Amino acid sequence: MKKLLLSALACLALVFISNTNLLAQGTYTACAVSQTFDSTGTFYDTGGPTGPYQNSESCTLLINPPCATTITLSFQQFRTEANFDFFRVYDGTTTTAPQLLNASGGTRPSPVTATSGAMLIVWTSDISITDSGFVATWTSVIAPGGTPTAAIGVGNPNPPLLVDVQFNDLSAGGPVRWLWDFGDGDTAMSQNPLHAYNAPGTYTVTLIAYTCASSDTVTTTVTVQAAPQISVSPLNLTANALCGDSVSFSLDISNIGGGQLVYSTDGSVSSNIKVLAMSYGTDLFSEFPNTIAAINQHFTNYTLTTTATTNPGTLQGLLVGKNVLLIPEQETGNPAVWTTLGPVIRQYLNNGGSVVFCGSFSSQTDCMFNTGVFSGSYVEDGVGGPLTVVNASHPLAANVAATFNAPSATYTTQLSNADKIKIIDDAGNDVVVTRPFGSGKAIFLAFDYYANNTNSARVIANAIEWGGQNGIASWISLSRTNDTVTAPGTSSVIVTFQTTGLAAGTYISSIAVASNDPSNPVVNVPCTLTVTGDPAIALSDTCLNFGSIMQHTTGTQTFNIINNGCDTLHINSVSSTTSNFTVSSADPFVLPGGFTTATVNFSSSTVGNFNALIRVFNNDIDTVVCVSGSTFAAPVMAINPPGITQNLPACGATASQTMTISNTGGSDLTFNVGTTPPWLTISPLTGTITPGNSSTITLNFNSGTMAASNNVANVNITSNDPLQTSIGYSVTLKVDSNPCISFTYTPNTCTGQVDFTSSSINTPSTYSWDFGDGQTSNLPNPTNYYSLNGLYTVTLIACNSAGCDTMIQTVSAVITGPRATTCYPQTVAYCSVCGIGVTNVRIGNGINKTSFDAIDGYQDYTCTDYMTLYTLDTYTISITTGFTYDEIVKVWIDWNNDGILDSLTEEVFGDTALTFHSGSFTIPPGAVIGQPLRLRVASDFSGNPGPTPCLDLQFGQVEDYSVFVDIGSAVPQLLPNVPFSVYPNPFSKDASVEYSLNAASQVSIEIFNMLGEKIRSVVSDEKQNAGKHQYSVDGMDNGVYFIRLSVNGASATQKIVKM
C-alpha cells in the first residue's frame, strides 16, 4: 500500500508541478484532447494552421490551469459558416456556466476573459459547408501561493462496515488541491470526500494539502467495526383484504452478530414496470409507435397499457398500480383537455408515480404546461444542433454520449421551475429535465421521436427504467424506513397494506431491505395483496341549488359520481324526476378510485319555484341528488315600426327618423345596436328599459357621395330577451338620381389658358359653363383662354332628367405671355413624304429654336422662347424649312398688342425659297413697350395659298413666340461681364435685384409695368463702386413688371411676376 501511495503522490506531484508552471503551454487542435492544464497555449480547428475544419464536428476543450485567477482567449483568425458552425466559450467547467462568447461567421471576435479559473470551449459544425476555421491563443494569470497547514476532521472514527465516513479538510493556509489516502488503497482529490470501508480494521488516513507554492501532510486513524449479520422475519408478506380495509404486519430486522447493522427500507425491487401511455392527441402512425420502439431499443422490462381517455375519473382509475405515465408528443391534443386532466396527474405524482412528457411543437407545448407539472415557455425546434450532457451522473444520462446532435424535431423549452434538474442542454435551453413532484418524478424530454438516434432512444429508455423505480408501492406503508441496530438487537417495522383506491385483484410488489451486511447486502421481502370487494358509489354533492335564473334561460351545474370501491361501477342511467332539470353523464362506467362528471341543466318557460331528484341507477346502491331552483320573468323586446325606409336626394342630403324599443316583459331589458353602414348613424346605441317602458331611437341618414341607389342594411340589435337575443332590423335608404356637380381647374400662368375638369355624382346629360369673361361652353371638360389678368366668376350648371346642380368658383387668370389671339391655325393634312414645315427659327442673338416639321402642327412657344427687341433697332431673321419643296414663309408681330395679327401692317418678313429663308426687320417706334407681344411664323408649300395669320395650312404649320419691346434704339446692351439677376421669380412678398460691377460705374435701376410706364426708380444715375450690389423691391400689386438695369449707359431688362 505504501508503494501505491508513493506512486500516487509522485504522479500528483508531477501533475501539480507541471500544472503550476507559469510557462506551461501547448498547441492543440479541436477534438484532439478534451482538457488541458496549460496556463498558455494555442488552439486550432481540426484543419490545423492551414487546412479547413470538417463537417459534423462536436467537441470541447476545458482549459483548467491550477491556481489561475483569469484566463484570456484571443483570436488571430476566425472564419466559419455563418449561423451554422459555432464557437462557444463558457466561464467555468460546464455549459451551465455564464456564456462569454457565441461566435459564427467571418468577423474575428474580441478577446474574452474567464474569471472563474476555468474556461470551457465548445466547437460544433453542421453537416455541410466548411471554412478556414480559427486560430486562438490563451494566457492565464496564476495566483501566488503560501504555505498550508494540513488538518483532518473525521465524522465517525469508529464507523460501521460499508457505511460512508465523512472526511473534512480543516487545513489552514488556503490550499487549492488535496490528495487523500484512506489507508485501504483508495485515494481521492476532492476537498471533503466520503469514503466507506469494505473490511474491518484500523486504517491510517493521510491528507496532503497543496497551495500553488507548497504542501503539508497530516495523518489520523480510523477503526472500522466488524461485519454485522442481518436476519429478516418473516421473509414474505401475504394478505387477503376487502375493499377499503387495511392489514398490518410486524417486519423484524435483527442484527445477530458483529458490528452495528445499518439498514434502509425506502426502496423496492419491482420485477416489472407498469407503464400507462396516453394515445390521445398523438400521431398514431409515426410518433407514437416510434416512441415505443425507441424505448424497446434499450429497455424492455415493462408492461404497456394505452388509453385515449380525456375523462379525469377514467384516467385516475387507470393510473392505479402504474409506475409511469408516458405522454408522447401532443400533435393534435387540446391544451384545455390537459387542464382538466392536470389535477389527476398531479395527484398521481404526489403519490409517488412518474410522468414522462415528450416534446411538442410551438403552442402544443401548452398541453404539458396546462397540467401544472412544469411551467415555462417554448423556445424552438433545434433540428440538428449539438446537445450537451451537463449532469452525466444522473440515471437519465446513463450510457448517453457527452455531446451529440439533436434528432429532427427536438422542441426545446425554457422551464422556470426553481427545483428543476437539467440533464441535457442546448445552448442554455432545456432538452432533458426532471424535477421532484411530491413523492414522484416529473420528466421532460424535448424529443418527439418522429426521428431518433441512439442517444435520444437511450434517454427515453432511461426515463422509463428510472421512472419505474418508484420506491415503496403506493399501497404499502412503513412505520420506519431506516435504523441502526447494535448486536444482538432487533428493529421492528410495521408494514401496512391499504386497499383504498385499489381495484379488485392481486397486487405484487416487494420491500428491499438494504444493509451493510457484506454477505447479504439486500434482503428482498415479497409482498402479495389480494383485494376483493364491490364497487362503492359516492357523490361529490348531495344537493344542487341553482338559485334564481331568468325564464327561458338555462343554468348549469355539475356533480361527480365517485367509485370508492374495488370493482367497476356501472352507471345504468342518470335521470331527473321533472322535465325542468335534465342530466347527462360522461361515462357509463367508473373504474375503482375514479370518477365521472354529471352535468345538470335547469330551465323553465314559466315563472316559479322548482324541485326535483336526479336519480343515479348503478350496480352498487341507487342514489339521488336533490336539485332546486327558481325562475323570474324575462324581458320582452318589441320594436316599432318593424322597418324604416328613407328617400333622399343625392349630394349629401340628410334626414332623421325614429323607432321605439319597448319592454313588455317582467324584468329590465338591456339592448345594444350593432354596426351601421356609413350612411346611417343611430343614437343611443345602448340602453336599459324597465318593464312597461320604451326608448326612442333616432336614425340619421346622409346620402353623402352616394350615386342613385337602393341601400338596405340589417342592423343587428341584441338584447337580454332570451327568446330574441338578436334581431336584424331592416333599414333602407333610397338615393335619387339628381346630379351633384363639382369642377377643378388648371391654369397656365403664361398664356391665360385654363383647363376645366368636371366630376359628378349621377351623370349629367347637359353642361352649361359661363367663364366670367363672356365666353361659354357646353363641354364636360372645356378649355378657356383668358385675354386679361384678373379674377373671374365661373359658373357650371349640370342637368339630367332628375334635376340640375350649380357650382360657382372664382378663378384667377394670370397672363405673363402674349395676349390671347383670335385664332390658332392648324395643319390640315400633314404630308409625311414632303418634309414641309418650320424646323428652325433664329432672330438676332435671341430666339434660336429647332423643332420638328409640320408633323407637330401648331406649336406655342410663347412661354418658353422669347427675347427683347429695341425700338428702331434692326434684327436679322433666318428660318429653316424642308429640303424637298419651296415654301412660302411669313412672319408677323402683334405690335399694338390687340390680340389680332394684321396681315398687312404687322407682317415683318416674307419669303419663298427652298429650305433657307433669311432677311431682317426694324422695330417700329410705335410698338407697345414692355409687354409680351406675339410673334407668329407660318410656312406652307409654295403651290398652296400663301399663309395668313389665321389661315389653317394645308401641309405647313404655324409657330408662336414672344418678344418684348424696350425703348431707346441707341441704348447699347449690357455686357455679359456684368452679372444681373432678379429672384425669386415669380415672387409673393419682395424680390431681390443683384448685380456685380468690375469697376466704379454710373448705375440706374427702373421698374416698368406692362404698358411701358415707369412706376419706380430704385437707383437713379448713381455712382457706385466695384463689387456686388443688392436691392429689395416690394409694394407692387400682382402682375407682370420689367426691371431695367443701366450701367454706364448700357442696359438689360428682366421680366418679373408678382403673385
CATH tag, 980-1058: 2.60.40.2550
CA distances from 1046 to 189, 873, 1018, 1056 (A): 108, 18, 12, 17
In the prediction, which pLDDT does 112 show? 96
Q: Which cell is 1035 given?
A: 409694394
Q: What is the DSSP letter of 597?
A: E
Q: Domain map of the chain by residue range?
A: 2-142, 158-224, 230-265+474-532, 273-467, 537-632, 637-735, 740-813, 840-966, 980-1058
pLDDT at 985: 83
Distance (Å, rounded) from C-alpha 355 to C-alpha 49? 50
CATH 1.10.3720.10 fits 537-632, yes or no: no
State pLDDT tens for residues 447-467.
Answer: 999 888 899 999 999 999 998
Q: Which pLDDT value is given to residue 20?
A: 40
What was the pLDDT predicted at 98? Answer: 92
Burial label for 108, CB within 10 Å (0-12, 13-18, 19+), is middle
**Cβ-contact 264, 485 below 8 angstroms:** no
Q: Could you please report the per-residue DSSP string of 729-748?
A: EEEEEEE----EEEEEEEE-
- Which CATH fold topology does 740-813 show? Immunoglobulin-like (2.60.40)
According to the 3-state scheme, what is the secondary structure of 452-521?
A: CCHHHHHHHHHHHHHHCCCCCCCCEEECCCEEEECCCEEEEEEEEEECCCCCCEEEEEEEEEEECCCCCC
Fold of 273-467: Rossmann fold (3.40.50)
- CATH architecture of the domain formed by 840-966: Sandwich (2.60)
User: How are beta strands 866-870 and 874-880 bridged, if at all?
Assistant: unpaired
Highest CATH level, class, for 637-735: mainly beta
Fold of 158-224: Immunoglobulin-like (2.60.40)
Query: Which parts of the chain sit beneath pLDDT 50?
Result: 1-23, 268-270, 969-971
Three-state secondary structure call for residue 344: helix
**Cell output for 109:** 471576435
- The top-level CATH class assigned to 2-142 is mainly beta
Neighbours of 765 (CB within 10 A): 10
Is 2-142's fold the same as 740-813's? no
* Total residue count of the chain as it appears in this document: 1059
CATH class of 230-265+474-532: mainly beta
**Each residue's pLDDT tens digit, 143-163:** 777 889 999 999 999 999 999
